[in-house]
Structure 1
Amino acid sequence: MSNRAVLEVIALNAEDAVAAQAGGADRLELVTDMAADGLTPPRETFAAIRAAVDIPLRVMLRAADGFAAGDVDALVASARALRAEGAEEFVLGFLNPDGTPDLVTVERLAAELEGCRWTFHRAIDRAADRDQLRKELAGLPGLDTYLTAGAAEGVDAGLPVLLAEAARRGEPGYEAQILVGGGLRLDHLPALRAAGVDAFHIGGAARPNGWSFPVSAAAVEDWREALS
């Protein structure tokens, strides 16, 4: 395994995707509606991005703001349609009202994805017990990544948790890659890299002018260089 860190960038459309790839992104997370923290993009958007770039794409499966699954049948239908369009990697994560993982929904979607690789996203940062969540999800087919800031408030607050979890990599429940994102800044990188974290996720940091503007290839390049 190379020590090149993975840089994942949020893309809302083909313009974002092309800029992110040009800046050195290794993978894209495809979402729509960042006002709701990212929902499942339309099938047409996936197709346009897939045609525009040749790096891996992870597609969000999320129907509503918050961490409840909502209409699970609609999520399953979205997963099926996206797979038919060629999607091979996904992002998902749901909690019950008490902060435990919604295993019924997660297992149903994992079964629908049939071994496609997927990320359990920042719902882990709202879990009642992170360690318990990881152990309950361990062994689910396709789960290879946790997107986490270590805390609901973001990386500033969650850094100690991230460093502690990185030290447990390989233990039961800790086999999946830690993908750090959520208020991540360049000055967080040295401590995370020293701890062995090798995957990073940026959204707003790739858009210096805000979410109403496209991804900046130059901003992505700054991150790529900082990780090299």
Structure 2
Amino acid sequence: MSKRKRAVLEVIALGVEDAVAAEAGGADRLELVTDMAADGLTPAVETFAGIRAAVDVSLRVMLRLTDGFTAGNTDALVRAAGELRTAGADEFVLGFLDEHGGLDLDAVERIVAELDGCRWTFHRAIDRAADRDALRKQLAELPGLDAYLTAGSPAGVDDGMPVLLTEAARRGEPGYEPEVMVGGGLRLDHVPPLRAAGIDAFHIGGAARPDGWSGPVSADSVRQWRTTLDA
């Protein structure tokens, strides 16, 4: 029997201190954002550059300029993507819906064109989509998409577990090739059933911060997750 592949652990980082602690704790990848009060927006190019200089792990940079799941100013998003690419960013996180909960394909296509083949995650906008299956199939041919960050439900993993397990079982079908990366109210006790379903990617934010969002990432907290995922 082949050895189970190591699960990917992605940790939200707001700055260099977070990034260094997350890497020390065993994170494989960081999601770089600012302004968690707005659920994570695009960080400054200088923030990206400082973190890139401080750690060796993969960095996925959020492309999102306003709270909510509509794109807003797509021109500004394309510019931000270009500036980050110029600074060396090569992995991204994005995802936009229209006012009816459908995929904003125009905005996503324009930004992805600017990314020029870089790998990217479609984030938890999928959990607000009117039709998750239709959204996945609309995105199936876009270059670079290799993961969906999802809790299975807007309310979090507790509510979304049945959806997560169903989508994991469909891996490889049209629209279901990208990895299911679970995040959003994720707890350590969720890990065993998700791993048993073949899910190999996990995303944590507040779970890495014992003092909440006002405090930094704890290397010890990240290490606890790493140990659980590797068990």
TM over 0.5: yes
* 2:123 maps to which of 111, 118, 121: 121
Report matched runs for 1:181-192 at 5 Å: 181-192=183-194
2:139 maps to what in 1?
Answer: 137
What is the aligned-residue RMSD (CA, Å)? 0.8
* 1:54 maps to which of 56, 60, 63: 56
- Tell me the TM-score normalised to structure 2 length: 0.98
2:71 maps to what in 1?
Answer: 69
2:25 maps to what in 1?
Answer: 23
Report matched runs for 1:103-118 at 5 Å: 103-118=105-120
1:2 shift after superposition? 5.6
- Gaps in structure 2 of 5+ consecutive residues: none
Distance 1:3 1:164 in 2: 21
AA at the equivalent of 1:12: L
- Gaps in structure 1 of 5+ consecutive residues: none
Do structure 1's residue 149 and structure 2's residue 156 form an aligned pair? Answer: no
2:173 maps to what in 1?
Answer: 171
AA at the equivalent of 1:22: A
Distance 1:41 1:148 in 2: 21
Q: In structure 1, the residue corresponding to 2:114 is in which secondary structure?
A: helix
Q: In structure 1, the residue corresponding to 2:97 is in which secondary structure?
A: coil
Over residues 147-190 of structure 1, what are the superposed CA-to-partner deviations in whole Å (9 max), with x where a residue is unaligned?
A: 00000000000000000000000000000001000000000000
Q: In structure 2, the residue corresponding to 1:220 is in which secondary structure?
A: helix
Over residues 44-72 of structure 1, what are the superposed CA-to-partner deviations in whole Å (9 max), with x where a residue is unaligned?
A: 00000000000000000000000000011
1:37 maps to what in 2?
Answer: 39
1:3 shift after superposition? 1.0
- Tell me the TM-score normalised to structure 1 length: 0.99
Distance 1:92 1:175 in 2: 18
Report the count of equivalent residues. 228
